[in-house]
Structure 1
């Protein structure tokens, strides 16, 4: 587990990020906050597009912002939504998380502020990673 203060910061940033989501089609805002080995946290939200395939999920948005700043080692990620149901990263996001972590904590936060903690290995068992290439 991460330090409780750090966990709270991840949660707060993920919840703040969904407030910036651009979701005119699904009306399902998602926020993410990714912690990297440098100690920096990068936030992202989902951004939809009329050409649906061009939509970017919050998790990938946060991770790609970090990578653009030179980060490579993901330590944990929080994903938040304003609904009663806990979020779950899509398959593409699970694979992108795996690119930057063999395993890490994944915090899922619903609109009530409740948190469910899981891991990448639980979400993506027997994953394919860069070490196989």
Structure 2
């Protein structure tokens, strides 16, 4: 894909639900399976990075998750929300997608029933390969 800002669309969040995204430069988090409990990083309670009231467009890379809820999410339709991503951040160094690593790996999770267990239909893996 081109090194340009992009959107991530996901099922609409309801109630106190939030979208957690673990962003890395490798596929190490792509090992989640149906039935795994969220007891450790990156998806456990307290293992999330939440930006201010509004998302600044930068996904933070690391062993924790970016947390999106409320005003950090934009409504796309009655069934979907969306995030506008314009760059990444690592160790407090922001970079645009032009300067981002060649590949990003996103593990996304919405705990629909609040049981802290990864279940089919609640998580998705996304691999982004940027054109050089």
- TM-score calculated relative to the size of structure 2: 0.31
- TM-score calculated relative to the size of structure 1: 0.31
> Of Structure 1 and Structure 2, which has the larger fraction of its residues in strand?
2
